[in-house]
Amino acid sequence: GLPPAPGDLVVRDLTFRYGEAARRPALQDVSLTFARGRSYALVGRTGSGKSTLAKVLTRAVDVPRGTVFLGGTDLLDLDVEELRKWIAVVPQRTEILAGTLAENIALFDPDLLDAAGRAVDELGLGPWVADLPDGLETKLGEGGHVLSAGQEQLVAFARIMVRDPQVVILDEATARLDPVTEQQVQRATARMLHGRIGIIVAHRLSSVRQCDEVVVLADGRVVEAGPLETS
């Protein structure tokens, strides 16, 4: 199908349960608008529904027609494969494959190898890559150069950037990062989200601070949503 017009991501009166047997819905009466160009910190206790909401937005689970829209188009009217190009999820753990950094970013798609360098630049990672033994051609994985957890996340960001999605959902890793990597990740995150819709399942205070809005979930319900007050 045609790509959805660039626009907001809207959730309307959504109630979702994992099967009939579930005692209570994982999401209940959720209505939210994620506006283009803004970033949202999604917070809440464990089990509050954050990951479930992320799954809904990528159609990893089924929801009724008329509950989720991208640029005015019902998500159910979009091809799932295409949808996942427009709405990208940065996973909590990044798998590094045996191959060069460029191949890891392009996921071995030859059409995307050129874009790998551009993605690195757009994320402000040029200096980091220049410091690697062979730049973009540095071998990773089995027997190759070893990346830290934070650097693996940077690779995940670049993977997302080469596909130029409209929406980026980042389920943040809980692991502590060293200060240098933390700063690289924060900067790259800001660049990755620029002009897009960003949703960060935030486990770090620093990520919450750099978001425009905060959404708080509790027991599957939105209990707070609005601009982040920076005072």
Pick the binder of Mg ion from 33, 51, 58, 138 (CB under 5 A). Answer: 51
Amino acid (one-letter) located at 225: A
Instruction: Name the residue among 32, 36, 38 with its Cα closest to residue 50.
Output: 32
33 binding Mg ion? (CB under 5 A):
no
104 binds, among ligand ATP, Mg ion, none (CB under 5 to 8 A by kind): none
Per-residue x/- mask for ligand ATP, residues 1 to 40, rule CB under 6 A? -----------------x-------x--------------
Q: Among 215, 210, 166, which Cα is nearest to 189's?
A: 210
Secondary structure of residue 205 in the 3-state scheme: helix
The nearer residue to ligand ATP, 23 or 65, going by C-beta atoms, is 23
DSSP designation for 224: E
Distance (Å, rounded) from C-alpha 42 to C-alpha 201?
5
Q: Of the candidates 9, 40, 48, 144, which one interacts with ligand ATP according to CB under 6 A? A: 48
Stretch of 28-36, 48-56, 84-92, 128-136 lying at the interface with Mg ion (CB under 5 A) = 48-56
Rg of the chain over all Cα atoms, to the nearest angstrom: 18
User: Between 174 and 231, whose beta carbon lies closer to ligand ATP?
Assistant: 174
Is residue 151 within a helix (H) or strand (E), and if so which, with residue range? Answer: helix 149-161
Query: Least Å distance between CB 206 and ligand ATP?
Result: 18
The nearest distance, CB 46 to ligand ATP, in angstroms, is 3
Distance (Å, whole) CA 115 – CA 163: 9
Does residue number 92 form part of the binding site for Mg ion (CB under 5 A)?
A: no
Place of tokens 């399942």: 201
Closest approach, Cβ 223 to ligand ATP, in A, equals 13
